[in-house]
Amino acid sequence: MEQIRLVDIPGQEFPAGRRTRVLVGPGSPVSAERFVLGYVTVHPGGAVPLHAHEQEEVYLVLSGRGMMRVGGEVEPVEPVTAVHIPSGAPHELRNTGDTEMVMVFVYAPAGVVAHWAEEQAGRLRSSGQAVPAGEPAALARQNKDEQT
């Protein structure tokens, strides 16, 4: 039996204001062939910035409150809210509260999603900020709509 304890995973801090720990998948001692499972702490005012990828995904908010965008829809999320994100759908999660938000994600197929490296390199922005050239057109259009 493979096991990993959350306290044993240092995780990665991201510029948009969150710490991501992969429990099952790339960089974790536990791997799966078809999916990735992670645990995210979104700091107050922090986010998972607007992005899209081929993987189908689910976010499960365990604590905290925020706003979730999937495609053109934006809705509040609260503890024990699960959100399905279809393959290719632009999505974003923002912590609008004054406490840490904790969420779990699972996506398939397995692999490393490109938006992690894009954010660390400064090429992925939170809502309301310009999207640099080369970003997917759908994301650029959504960001432009927010600025007007």
Cα–Cα distance between 144 and 39 in angstroms, integer? 30
Tens of pLDDT along the chain (148 residues) come to 989 899 999 999 998 999 999 999 988 889 899 999 999 999 999 999 999 999 999 999 999 999 999 999 999 999 999 999 999 999 999 999 999 999 999 999 987 777 766 777 777 666 534 333 344 444 434 433 433 3
Cα–Cα distance between 102 and 59 in angstroms, integer? 10
Amino acid at 121: A
> Structural domain boundaries of the chain?
6-141
Instruction: Give yes or no for a contact between 85 and 70, defined as CB atoms under 8 angstroms apart.
Output: yes
Beta bridge partners of 74: 69
- For 146, phi then psi, to 5°, come to -70, -30
Scanning the structure block, which residue is given the tokens 């039996």? 1
CATH match for 6-141 among 2.60.120.10, 3.90.226.10, 3.40.640.10, 3.90.580.10: 2.60.120.10
Angle at 76 between CA 74 and CA 77, to 5 degrees: 120
Amino acid at 29: P
